[in-house]
A and B are shown apart, each in its own frame.
Chain A
Amino acid sequence: SAVISQKPSRDICQRGTSLTIQCQVDSQVTMMFWYRQQPGQSLTLIATANQGSEATYESGFVIDKFPISRPNLTFSTLTVSNMSPEDSSIYLCSVVQVYGYTFGSGTRLTVV
């Protein structure tokens, strides 16, 4: 299965700033996904990142707040913009291939 390198693993950020999270996959994948996991909660899909087209956002998530880049088939970034304490969560990327889904190790974000 694919191996995903997700960076940073954690960060503490000031409110009003932005953080960009990166995911690098060791093989080419068509679809990448970004999830948010709020404290004590389950995972919620933010958007699907497709190479060569704009990301598709789920209800409740907008591009201005969570811009996504997908410059090639092995890399994607998620930016959390103009952060507030409510954005404190774990953010995970994921890919799907023939044999199933693989998740990055997550980015634990704390906004103070």
Chain B
Amino acid sequence: SQQGEEDPQALSIQEGENATMNCSYKTSINNLQWYRQNSGRGLVHLILIRSNEREKHSGRLRVTLDTSKKSSSLLITASRAADTASYFCATDGRGGGSNYKLTFGKGTLLTVNP
């Protein structure tokens, strides 16, 4: 079954507003990561939150993790037009040889209008 389902699938906001994207997953994880992808190019790692952490900040990014609900959220504050991209959550497995395989969610396409 799909691991890491994001919602919304698409989000359009005005510059300066905050953008919140959510991710749910199904199995136990070691950590959850968020990535950004511009125009179908390579992925850029944004932030990693471990399973024993509840919240993490990096610049304008804030990530939360609720392992009881198997969900995470990514908040981008004071958005800029340059934040326009697709955002993916990804989880890696816990235990066994599959530890390092990432499973990606479907992604949220964020459009920030100037």
- 1/0 contact trace for B25-54 toward A, CB 8 Å? 000000001010000111111001000000
**Chain B residues with Cβ under 8 A from A104's Cβ?**
42
Greatest chain A CB density within 10 A among B35, B48, B102, B105 is at B102
Chain B interfacial positions (CB closer than 8 Å to A): 33, 35, 40-45, 48, 88, 90, 100-107
Q: Across the interface, do B45 and A102 meet the contact criterion of CB distance under 8 Å? A: yes
Interface of B is mostly: strand
Name the residue on B nearest A105 (C-beta): B42
Closest Cβ–Cβ distance, residue B98 to chain A (whole Å): 9
Chain A interfacial positions (CB closer than 8 Å to B): 6, 31, 33, 37, 41-45, 48, 90, 92, 94, 96, 100-106, 108
Interface of A is mostly: strand
Q: Across the interface, do A45 and B105 meet the contact criterion of CB distance under 8 Å? A: no
Q: Across the interface, do A33 and B101 meet the contact criterion of CB distance under 8 Å? A: yes
Closest Cβ–Cβ distance, residue A110 to chain B (whole Å): 12
Q: Which 4 A-B pairs have the closest CB atoms?
A: A105-B42, A103-B43, A43-B104, A42-B104
Q: Across the interface, do B101 and A45 meet the contact criterion of CB distance under 8 Å? A: yes
**Chain A residues with Cβ under 8 A from B104's Cβ?**
42-44
Name the residue on A nearest B43 (C-beta): A103
Which listed residue, A41, A48, A101, A108, touches B33 by the CB 8 Å rule? A101
* Bound Cα distance from A6 to B42, whole angstroms: 10
Q: Across the interface, do A31 and B100 meet the contact criterion of CB distance under 8 Å? A: yes
Which listed residue, A45, A48, A92, touches B42 by the CB 8 Å rule? A92
